[in-house]
Amino acid sequence: MGEPTNFQWECPLPLRSHRHVVMGHGGGGKLSDDLIRHLFLPAMGGGNDAQTDAAELMIGDRRVAFSTDSFVVRPLFFPGGSIAELAVNGTVNALAMMGAMPLALATGFILEEGLPLADLHAIARRLGVAAQAAGVALVTGDTKVVERGHGDQIFINTSGIGLIPAGRRLHPRRIQPGDQILVSGEIGLHGVAILSVREGLIFETVIASDCAPLHTLVATLLAAAPATRVLRDPTRGGVAASLNELATAAGVGMVIAEGALPIPEGVAAACEMLGLDPLYVANEGKLVAIVAPAERDAALAALRSHPLGRHAACIGQVTAGPAGLVIGRTPIGGERIIDLPLGELLPRIC
Amino acid sequence: MGEPTNFQWECPLPLRSHRHVVMGHGGGGKLSDDLIRHLFLPAMGGGNDAQTDAAELMIGDRRVAFSTDSFVVRPLFFPGGSIAELAVNGTVNALAMMGAMPLALATGFILEEGLPLADLHAIARRLGVAAQAAGVALVTGDTKVVERGHGDQIFINTSGIGLIPAGRRLHPRRIQPGDQILVSGEIGLHGVAILSVREGLIFETVIASDCAPLHTLVATLLAAAPATRVLRDPTRGGVAASLNELATAAGVGMVIAEGALPIPEGVAAACEMLGLDPLYVANEGKLVAIVAPAERDAALAALRSHPLGRHAACIGQVTAGPAGLVIGRTPIGGERIIDLPLGELLPRIC
């Protein structure tokens, strides 16, 4: 395959010496970042704010958030959810992290020839249930089919529109030294749930994905802590990737108290067995909030008052620098650098 | 694969006896229609207006069109365009058929491991150029990667937001007997362009895809013929599928003068050689307009005044019925039923 001209592409900056797409380009880490910064943005033109998961547009006098995500998770069904709940909640959460209330979703299906219609029906039904639970309308869609062996059962793209209430200002540039870093609950559940079913691992208890729509949790948080700087949902690359992106975007440092991380026992056991770090494992129903120091306690109380934020915790704080450096402090006083992952521990986690 | 419950799906209406997804489910014909009406809509819940390619939402006092399409065309590059121009113009045109001016696009990439980065760069560059040409901003995006053999180089989803000017009312239910049926130019070019390169066919002249953004053509048409009933872009399934959908949705009949169809010589020759009917071949830069009888001449003149409408023609008219029946009349007085195709002549045309 090639473009029908004798076009020779010169890489503007080395893409870590790859000449072809590798799995890590979809992992939400350094390789994804390279692709966005050094290939997509220069080639497709600006307009993108690479620091947010969704775009903000003015339509009349309304602030509108607009987001898109494709879902390629394997397996399609897993403890706690399926590709359908991910497709709805993933886009709802991308909008929610902009402070937006989700309004409408559009679904694009790429089906592989041979997919049982019963599976497609189960997925469609779950999409409907998840959308209703999130209070968002499925307003339009598209279906394409590719030949057997040229797809993988079903891929779902979900794009969404949300409304950002007046006065909300969430952006990494608002982060300041001294700000407090919160997570809304126990981390690592989605990644471990996927991994356990994919690898056929049996743990003492079934670990279920935390997949959930976060917009009402966000509304509760922002009502109590209106100076909140920025929100992120730590999906691919986990909390570590979200913190690194924010620290880099804001030009600040961060120090995390590793003992304060809410890690469920099952996730800790699974990660120890598999040699994974829970900070890098994907979540689908958690948020990271950077809040003003004076609002920390109000923010924590608000999060904990919501069913999806019962285990919220303050896990660290923002420092003056070095810019982009995230440090983990262990309870016994050790320090380590929590780096941006190169790719993804587990491909096709969402 | 299966849902982890012992769920048994009972088909609400027979999906033409298929138990699995077949290529035709993505073809834009009867099988696609079955899937939407008998599986997606009942399972996912209402809200969808299956009669339009995009949804309409009110945001504040603005009418917003919202659309999504995935593009899986093979090959990625073809005479007259590539998957990139299709991805931009396809969504621009879905918005334009609602009478909307496109405002912003979001792009979702599903890349197959091993895709040369040079090809990805060429596609990204073409996306940027096509978006600029259409006057629409690429505001946000997402990238996923699947393992080699689980995708097909690149799939692109494009969702779009457009603004519908006040007063525009385009809907199949506005069609009345006596209305005139226009096409904006020569038909069959995109499908024949794809087929020729895919099958390695050599014609006397290279037939190029007509892929183009139609929103300025629509604006020109609607300024001259404000009573225009409805617009459609005849992509998958060609003009035949668009006319059948409109006739069924409006509960009217249609009579087409086959001698009036603007069919380029190269398309006619290719279709004759391959046994195809140009009415069923996909277009990517044409529209079908149903206009009021009194505005027919103004509409034709307006279309012909625009570079993309030079070969516009009136090809028939709406009749009282039988509802949903589209009849073709040959120059020598013969008649045939122009039926909705079952699937697609050519899979993965867009």
Chain A residues touching residue B37 (CB < 8 angstroms): none
For helices A296-304 and A215-224, angle between their N-to-C axes, nearest 10 degrees: 140
Q: Please tell me which residue, A110 or B51, carries the higher pLDDT value.
A: A110
pLDDT of amino acid A46: 61
pLDDT of amino acid B51: 62
| Boundary (domain end) residue, out of B112, B144, B164 | B164
Least Cα distance to A222 among A287, A137, A311 occurs for: A287
pLDDT in tens, B59-82: 999 999 999 999 999 999 999 999
Interchain contact B48–A (C-beta under 8 A): yes
Average pLDDT for residues A284-309, to the nearest whole number?
98
Which residue type sits at B183?
V
Q: Which domain holds residue A95?
A: 54-164
**pLDDT at residue B202 tops 80:** no
This complex has an ipTM of 0.93
| Boundary (domain end) residue, out of B141, B164, B187 | B164
Contact between A187 and A238 under an 8 Å Cβ cutoff? The reply is: yes
**pLDDT at residue A347 tops 60:** yes
What percentage of chain A has pLDDT greater than the value 70? 93
In whole angstroms, give the CA distance from residue A91 to residue A101. 11
Q: Which two tokens stand for residue A232?
A: 């992120």
Overall domain count for chain A: 2
Interchain contact B166–A (C-beta under 8 A): no
**pLDDT at residue A163 tops 60:** yes
In whole angstroms, give the CA distance from residue B92 to residue B309. 17
pLDDT in tens, B113-154: 999 999 999 999 999 999 999 999 999 999 999 999 999 999
Range with lowest mean pLDDT among A10-24, A86-100, B165-179, B321-335: A10-24
A122 and A204 fall within a common domain: no
**pLDDT at residue A208 tops 50:** yes
**pLDDT at residue B49 tops 60:** no
pLDDT of amino acid A51: 62
B160 and B178 fall within a common domain: no
Average pLDDT for residues B221-240, to the nearest whole number?
97
In whole angstroms, give the CA distance from residue B224 to residue A302. 57
A197 and A96 fall within a common domain: no
What is the Rg, in whole angstroms, of the alpha carbon atoms belonging to chain B? 20
Q: Which residue of A has its CA nearest to B50?
A: A140
Q: Which residues are paired to A231 by β-bridges?
A: A289
Query: Average pLDDT of chain A?
Result: 91
> CATH number for the domain including A127?
3.30.1330.10
A158 and A195 fall within a common domain: no
Asked whether residue A310 is domain-assigned, the answer is yes
- Dihedral of the alpha carbons of A187, A191, A196, A197, in degrees to the nearest 10: 130
Least Cα distance to B315 among B250, B244, B245, B243 occurs for: B243
**pLDDT at residue A170 tops 50:** yes
A144 and A198 fall within a common domain: no
| 8 Å CB contact of A69 and B142 | yes
pLDDT of amino acid A1: 38
B104 and B152 fall within a common domain: yes
Interchain contact B32–A (C-beta under 8 A): yes
Average pLDDT for residues A225-252, to the nearest whole number?
96
Average pLDDT for residues B203-223, to the nearest whole number?
93
B264 and B181 fall within a common domain: yes
For an interface test with A, the pick among B144, B147, B150, B163 (most A C-beta atoms closer than 10 Å) comes out as B144
Of B39, B75, B111, the CB nearest to A21: B111
Q: Please tell me which residue, B299 or A273, carries the higher pLDDT value.
A: B299
What percentage of chain B has pLDDT greater than the value 70? 93
Asked whether residue B76 is domain-assigned, the answer is yes
A220 and A313 fall within a common domain: yes
Asked whether residue B176 is domain-assigned, the answer is yes
| Boundary (domain end) residue, out of A164, A190, A218 | A164
pLDDT in tens, B247-294: 999 999 999 999 999 999 999 999 998 889 999 999 999 999 999 999
A274 and A254 fall within a common domain: yes
pLDDT in tens, A33-61: 888 888 998 888 765 455 677 899 999 99
**pLDDT at residue A168 tops 70:** yes
B160 and B214 fall within a common domain: no
pLDDT of amino acid B273: 87
A180 and A306 fall within a common domain: yes
pLDDT of amino acid B4: 42
In whole angstroms, give the CA distance from residue B188 to residue B262. 9
What percentage of chain B has pLDDT greater than the value 90? 78
**pLDDT at residue B15 tops 80:** no
A132 and A238 fall within a common domain: no
For an interface test with B, the pick among A8, A20, A126 (most B C-beta atoms closer than 10 Å) comes out as A20
pLDDT of amino acid B11: 46
Range with lowest mean pLDDT among A289-293, B37-41, B163-167, B178-182: B37-41
Q: Which residues are paired to A182 by β-bridges?
A: A289, A314
**pLDDT at residue B5 tops 60:** no
| 8 Å CB contact of B15 and A161 | no
pLDDT of amino acid B341: 85
